[in-house]
Structure 1
Amino acid sequence: MSVTRNVRERLHEDIRTDALDLASLASHSGEAALRSEIEQRVDLDTPLPRWYALFAPNGQRLAGNLAWRPPGPGWWHRPFRARPSPTGLLAPVHTLTLLALGTAQGDLLVVGRDRTYIDELEASYGRAFVGVLLLTVGIALALGALIGRRMLRRVSAMSDTAAAISAGQLSRRMPVRGNGDEFDRIAQTVNEMLERIEALLGEMRRIGADIAHDLRTPLTHLRRRLESARAHPPAAGTELDTLLEDALQEIDELLVIFQALLRIARVESGEARADFVAIDLGALLTELADAYSPVAEAEGRHLDLNLQPNIVVLGDRELLVQAFVNLIENAIRHTSEGAHIRLEIHRAAQDFAPA
């Protein structure tokens, strides 16, 4: 760790400075002055014990409180046990960091410090690191469990909603919390899909109702004709031919309706859009007005035109003709006598608006 490394560097610098100071004293003042200075420093009352020794070339200790003589100059580490306490308990083993230097007189000067407090600091940092690591892991596990439970609740809610939708409750929607996470995006996508499906099913129901409405009239007419023929069998000849011709005409109308429904289905699925052609709606409505004006006048109605020119669209001409014919026929059938039926088309913004 950087803190304990800095402490160790400061300890070595302190030892080096102390040793060089004493070596300089020996060089300038002689061995006797060095021995005196060592004894004075040993007797100093310092918070942390200091260790000194001066050894003669023959290994004899000349001064100091350190009994062990290093083999030679350099840095050394020496286990050390303090004296037993008054209770008789053994003191713990410490480690001394020592620097040995040769003096001008050929002696060996040794300066040392007890590095126990550094070891204790490292041990404290180690325990603190382990404690913080365990706390971090515990918090991470707790947060993971909490997040996992929340995710499981959301997944369970989405699963329940999906089961309800699968059972036919198409009005149900996936829960959205509004925080924009992945679950919200998935839920919004699914909800948009469900809305589209619900709209399509509603459109299918509407189309089914339209189909029933369109088929009811020609089928009713055909049934009446056949019932009348059964009740009053026509004689062979013109009367029978007329009956059969009318029945075939009713059947042809049914076939036209079915064909139109099939074409609508192909258009909505996109299959028939490649066959679309450009259609001038004004010209088309003019043709239909010319064809239905006599019919409207016979029923006491009037067809009025208000068509903006040059409105061209891509579409299926037969389907458009049938759609406009249905509108015109319904208008003639369901308006009062003397009514004016107006066929109008104009461009609104980028689209056309028939009326």
Structure 2
Amino acid sequence: MIKALRQLWRSVGFRLAFYYGLLVAITMLAALAIVYMQTVGVLQQRMVRQVGASMQQLMVRYEARGADGVAGEIGNALSDGRNSDNEIYLLTDREGHRRAGNLDQMPSLAPDAGDGVHRRVVRAGQTVIAYLVMRPLPDGGMLVVGHDLRDQESIESLVASASAAAGIVAVLLLIGGTFVFRQELERSVGAVRRTAARIAAGELQERVAPSGQEDEFALLEHDINAMLDRIQSLMDGVRHVSNTIAHDLRTPLTRVLVRLRAVEAGLDGANAPQRESVATAIRELEELAVMFEKLLQIAEVEAGARRQQFAPVALHVIADDVAELYEAVAEAQGIALLREPTDHAVALGDRDLLAGAAANLLDNALKYAGNSRAGATVRIGTCTVDGRAQLFVQDDGPGIPSAAYEHLGERFYRLDRSTPGHGLGLASVQAVVALHGGRLRFDDARPGLCACIDLPVADS
């Protein structure tokens, strides 16, 4: 229940609707409070003044004409037709017998003289709530002056009913407002969110469809589209330069390699120094050709050209194949390559690209673990965690400094310059994983490093 409420509270539409409903409820309650003060409050004050004035008038009459004068005055007040339904009077003698008034009996728990209280009284055979002022007389009798509160209770009940209605209206506004706000926000923000998701998946040509409105969200959509156009222009420029360089240089490099191999083949044993120089040049040019090939592959992956070939891929089968492929390499380097217990994990993707990414991670682990010490151990395994298919490669080598984690996957970044390579292996893996809508994570294995390809599970 608490989790569901927290999830609901994360919705901007729900929060706006809640605040809107709360504001309406507060406004209604404030208006009702003002109405109450201007009606019930004023009536009560007026009633208290009237009862006090009547008590004072009767006490003056008592001082002038005694109890008989008070009895006559009470009779006149009850028979004059003004407020007779609400006025309450009672005059008793010292024995408690009624001499005048409209109460059937003396109210219980008489307070000190002059205090106004609310009491249940019996008048004409009916029990009612009344406001009373009771004062003892010098002759031992008691004078009671009061006011029936039934009209005031009716008004208070009316205000309470109005408050309840206001609360119901506020709840209905909250429910309706939640629906309206969510629909409006989904209409305005949903297009932006869906476009951002497609762009994050590699569809960089996507743009936010204009809503046709002239509000703040329309301005936001325009600004986002302008930003995306600028970003794509910059990225296209960078990719065009790198792709052009890689593509245009590949042909002359191939020609130079062919000619150098012809020169190498024409040299005899007497020209050993020249032959060695040519062989060195051939190796360096071959490495340069491999680097250009990787750059082109990364560009192809980032462009999403192979997304149409996606199908369910068994990561555990890829892990088995890659481990078998590198088993001889690990044995030659004195590294124990262990296949973790098989846990089936199926993701949607391109099998060749994912196999290449797994091979890159395993090659890196063997390279750095083998350089650190003899008898190193490298593990490769797969698992499914929280609806995510994972393939991980873990070594027990020296690991990497904490500051280097944020640079892993950048093009041409190399942690150890003495280790052979071009700094494009992890960049290629990063591009493949991004194409599949996944994440490439690196964790400290203590000792060593754990690289994990985390992908969404393929729908069954």
Whole-angstrom distance in 2 between the partners of 1:81 and 1:270:
101
Whole-angstrom distance in 1 between the partners of 2:118 and 2:52:
12
Q: Post-superposition shift, 1:42?
A: 1.5
Q: Corresponding residue for 2:49?
A: 13
Q: Post-superposition shift, 1:171?
A: 1.0
Checking the alignment, whether the CA contact within 8 Å between 2:105 and 2:122 is kept in structure 1 is no
The answer to whether the aligner puts 1:77 opposite 2:98 as a matched pair is no
Task: Report the CA distance shift for 1:81/1:152 in structure 2 as closer, same or farther (over 3 A).
Answer: farther
The answer to whether the aligner puts 1:57 opposite 2:94 as a matched pair is yes
Q: Post-superposition shift, 1:145?
A: 1.4
Aligned match for 2:251, one of 188, 195, 216: 216
Whole-angstrom distance in 2 between the partners of 1:259 and 1:226:
17
Q: Post-superposition shift, 1:47?
A: 3.9
Task: Report the CA distance shift for 1:270/1:56 in structure 2 as closer, same or farther (over 3 A).
Answer: farther
Query: Sequence identity, in percent?
Result: 19
Q: Secondary structure at the match of 2:71?
A: helix
Q: Post-superposition shift, 1:23?
A: 1.1
Q: Secondary structure at the match of 2:95?
A: coil
Checking the alignment, whether the CA contact within 8 Å between 1:70 and 1:100 is kept in structure 2 is no
Larger-Rg structure: 1
Aligned match for 1:146, one of 166, 171, 180: 180
Q: Which amino acid aligns with 1:29?
A: R
- Residues 92-143 of structure 1: CA deviation (Å, up to 9, x unaligned): 8642322221223332112121111100010000001111111111112111
The answer to whether the aligner puts 1:29 opposite 2:65 as a matched pair is yes
Checking the alignment, whether the CA contact within 8 Å between 1:56 and 1:108 is kept in structure 2 is yes
The answer to whether the aligner puts 1:130 opposite 2:170 as a matched pair is no
Q: Post-superposition shift, 1:214?
A: 2.7
Task: Report the CA distance shift for 1:11/1:226 in structure 2 as closer, same or farther (over 3 A).
Answer: same
The CA RMSD over aligned residues, in Å, is: 4.9
Task: Report the CA distance shift for 1:71/1:228 in structure 2 as closer, same or farther (over 3 A).
Answer: closer
Name the TM-score, length of structure 2 as normaliser.
0.44
- Residues 146-199 of structure 1: CA deviation (Å, up to 9, x unaligned): 112233445653554355436642111356887379xx69x95x9958964774
Whole-angstrom distance in 1 between the partners of 2:110 and 2:267:
144
- Residues 310-345 of structure 1: CA deviation (Å, up to 9, x unaligned): xxxxxxxxxxxxxxxxxxxxxxxxxxxxxxxxxxxx
Q: Secondary structure at the match of 1:46?
A: coil
Unaligned 5+ segments in structure 2 are: 1-32, 112-116, 296-406, 415-460
Aligned match for 2:81, one of 45, 56, 75: 45
Task: Report the CA distance shift for 1:215/1:57 in structure 2 as closer, same or farther (over 3 A).
Answer: same
Whole-angstrom distance in 2 between the partners of 1:154 and 1:55:
78
Q: Post-superposition shift, 1:38?
A: 1.6
Q: Corresponding residue for 1:295?
A: none
Checking the alignment, whether the CA contact within 8 Å between 1:51 and 1:113 is kept in structure 2 is yes
Whole-angstrom distance in 2 between the partners of 1:78 and 1:249:
115
Q: Which amino acid aligns with 1:95?
A: I
Whole-angstrom distance in 1 between the partners of 2:189 and 2:269:
76
Checking the alignment, whether the CA contact within 8 Å between 1:97 and 1:114 is kept in structure 2 is yes
Q: Corresponding residue for 2:130?
A: 96
Q: Secondary structure at the match of 1:171?
A: coil
163-172 or 247-256: bigger deviation: 247-256
Q: Post-superposition shift, 1:222?
A: 4.6
Task: Report the CA distance shift for 1:118/1:58 in structure 2 as closer, same or farther (over 3 A).
Answer: same
Q: Secondary structure at the match of 1:30?
A: helix
Q: Which amino acid aligns with 2:154?
A: E
Checking the alignment, whether the CA contact within 8 Å between 1:55 and 1:109 is kept in structure 2 is yes
Q: Corresponding residue for 1:288?
A: none
Q: Secondary structure at the match of 1:117?
A: helix
The count of corresponding residues between Structure 1 and Structure 2 is: 257
Whole-angstrom distance in 2 between the partners of 1:242 and 1:226:
15
The answer to whether the aligner puts 1:206 opposite 2:241 as a matched pair is yes
Q: Corresponding residue for 2:154?
A: 120
Q: Post-superposition shift, 1:64?
A: 2.5
Checking the alignment, whether the CA contact within 8 Å between 2:103 and 2:123 is kept in structure 1 is no
Q: Which amino acid aligns with 2:140?
A: G
Q: Post-superposition shift, 1:249?
A: 9.2
Q: Post-superposition shift, 1:11?
A: 1.8
Q: Which amino acid aligns with 1:134?
A: I
Q: Post-superposition shift, 1:25?
A: 1.5
Checking the alignment, whether the CA contact within 8 Å between 2:195 and 2:207 is kept in structure 1 is yes
Q: Post-superposition shift, 1:55?
A: 0.8
Whole-angstrom distance in 1 between the partners of 2:272 and 2:154:
120
Whole-angstrom distance in 1 between the partners of 2:413 and 2:274:
39
Whole-angstrom distance in 2 between the partners of 1:269 and 1:221:
26
Q: Which amino acid aligns with 2:207?
A: R
Whole-angstrom distance in 2 between the partners of 1:115 and 1:135:
30
